[in-house]
């Protein structure tokens, strides 16, 4: 027998299925897009884990009071900014932006270390498509 991860087990899935199929509304914590500005300060294009109302009408986010400003600043710096740099690097094919992305990591010690790591990754034989895209 294969054990399912917690979010796929009956622990969460059965109440959600019952709520959706039998129209028994339930409040469940789910990951959804912040399109409804459910967590003020977090970009609408990012997913947030919040309470949702689940029923036959679907999964509807419940707006929160937001988070303290220092936590929003942390999210923007450590979660949002790297993803935006990564997406821009991909869109433009810029390996300089990939290098900047590596430099954003707190474990990166220098620009030389970042450049060497990127060179090592791009040199891997199974990264032909990545190498073609970013070089």
Q: Does 32 share its domain with 79?
A: no
pLDDT category, 1, cuts 50, 70, 90? very low
Q: Does 55 share its domain with 94?
A: no
CA dihedral 126, 128, 133, 135 (to 10 degrees): 110
Distance between CA 58 and CA 48 in Å, rounded? 17
Has residue 12 got a pLDDT over 70? no
Closest CA to 67 of 49, 54, 81: 49
Q: Does 108 share its domain with 75?
A: yes
Dihedral sign for Cα atoms in the order 25, 11, 62, 87: negative
Has residue 2 got a pLDDT over 50? no
pTM of the model: 0.71
Q: Does 57 share its domain with 106?
A: no
Q: Look at the chain and report how many structural domains it folds into.
A: 2
For the CA atoms of the chain, what is the radius of gyration?
20
Per-residue pLDDT of 49-96, as tens digits, reads 999 999 999 999 999 999 999 999 999 999 999 999 999 999 999 999
Q: Does 35 share its domain with 85?
A: no
Does residue 1 sit within a domain? no
Enclosing domain of residue 27: 6-61
- Number of helices (H), then strands (E), belonging to the chain: the values are 6, 3
- pLDDT-above-90 percentage for the chain: 87
């Amino acid at each position: 027998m294969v054990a399912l991860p917690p979010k796929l087990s009956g622990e969460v899935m059965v109440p959600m299925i019952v709520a959706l199929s039998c129209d028994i509304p339930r409040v469940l914590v789910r990951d959804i897009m912040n399109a409804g500005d459910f967590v003020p300060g977090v970009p609408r294009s990012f997913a947030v884990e919040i309470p949702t109302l689940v029923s036959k009408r679907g999964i509807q986010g419940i707006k929160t009071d937001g988070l303290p400003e220092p936590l929003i600043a942390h999210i923007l710096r450590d979660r949002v900014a790297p993803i935006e740099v990564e997406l821009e690097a991909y869109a433009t094919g810029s390996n300089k932006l990939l290098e900047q992305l590596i430099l954003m990591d707190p474990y990166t010690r220098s620009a030389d270390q970042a450049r060497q790591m990127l060179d090592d990754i791009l040199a891997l034989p199974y990264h032909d498509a990545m190498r073609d895209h970013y070089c």
